[in-house]
Amino acid sequence: MSNQEQVLVVPRKVLEQLGTFQGFCAQVEHYVPTLLAPEHLSFRPRGQVEQDPNFKQLIPYVLFCWRDEQGRPWVFHYRRGSGQGERRLHALRSVGVGGHINPVDTQGQDNWFEAGQRREIEEEVEVGFPYQVRTVGLINDDETPVGRVHLGVVGLAEVPHPQAVRPREKDMLQAGFAPTEQLLQEAHEFETWSQICLRALFEKGGLCSEQAFFPEVK
pLDDT tens profile 183-199: 999 999 999 999 999 99
170 falls in which pLDDT band (50, 70, 90)? confident
The whole-angstrom separation of Cα 60 and Cα 157 is: 12
- Is residue 37's pLDDT more than 90? yes
Establish if 145 belongs to a structural domain: yes
Better-predicted residue by pLDDT, 87 or 35:
35
Establish if 170 belongs to a structural domain: yes
* CB contact at 8 A, 8 and 116: yes
Supply the pLDDT for residue 154. 97
Supply the pLDDT for residue 120. 95
Establish if 47 belongs to a structural domain: yes
Looking at residue 142, which CATH number applies to its domain?
3.90.79.10
- Is residue 14's pLDDT more than 90? yes
Q: Is 14 helix (H, G, I), strand (E, B) or coil?
A: helix
Supply the pLDDT for residue 207. 79
Establish if 1 belongs to a structural domain: no
84 falls in which pLDDT band (50, 70, 90)? very low
Establish if 57 belongs to a structural domain: yes
Torsion angle of the four alpha carbons 203, 206, 210, 212, in this order, in degrees rounded to the nearest 10: -150
Q: Is 53 helix (H, G, I), strand (E, B) or coil?
A: coil
Establish if 25 belongs to a structural domain: yes
212 falls in which pLDDT band (50, 70, 90)? very low
How many folded domains does the chain comprise?
A: 1
Cα 20 to chain centroid distance, Å, stands at: 19
Establish if 12 belongs to a structural domain: yes
Contacts for 3 with CB less than 8 Å, ≥ 6 apart: 45, 46, 47, 48
Establish if 77 belongs to a structural domain: yes
* CB contact at 8 A, 203 and 209: yes
- Is residue 149's pLDDT more than 60? yes
List the domain range (segments joined by +) for residue 15. Answer: 6-209
* CB contact at 8 A, 25 and 140: yes
* CB contact at 8 A, 60 and 99: yes
CA dist 177 → 6, 73, 142 (Å): 33, 10, 29
Q: What is the average pLDDT across 69-81? A: 92
- Is residue 217's pLDDT more than 50? no
- Is residue 182's pLDDT more than 60? yes
Kindly report each contact of residues 35-39 with a partner whose C-beta sits within 8 Å and lies 24 or more positions away, as own/partner: 35/10, 35/138, 35/151, 35/153, 36/10, 36/111, 36/113, 38/112
Query: What burial letters (b/e) apply to 78-105, b meaning 16+ CB within 10 Å?
Result: bbbeeebbbeebeebbbbbbbbbbbeeb
182 CB burial (10 A radius; 0-12, 13-18, 19+): exposed
- Is residue 144's pLDDT more than 80? yes
* CB contact at 8 A, 202 and 210: no
Supply the pLDDT for residue 35. 97
Model-level pTM?
A: 0.90
108 falls in which pLDDT band (50, 70, 90)? confident
Spatial CA neighbour of 149 closest among 87, 86, 56: 56
59 falls in which pLDDT band (50, 70, 90)? very high
171 falls in which pLDDT band (50, 70, 90)? confident
Radius of gyration of the chain (CA): 16
pLDDT tens profile 154-167: 999 999 999 999 99
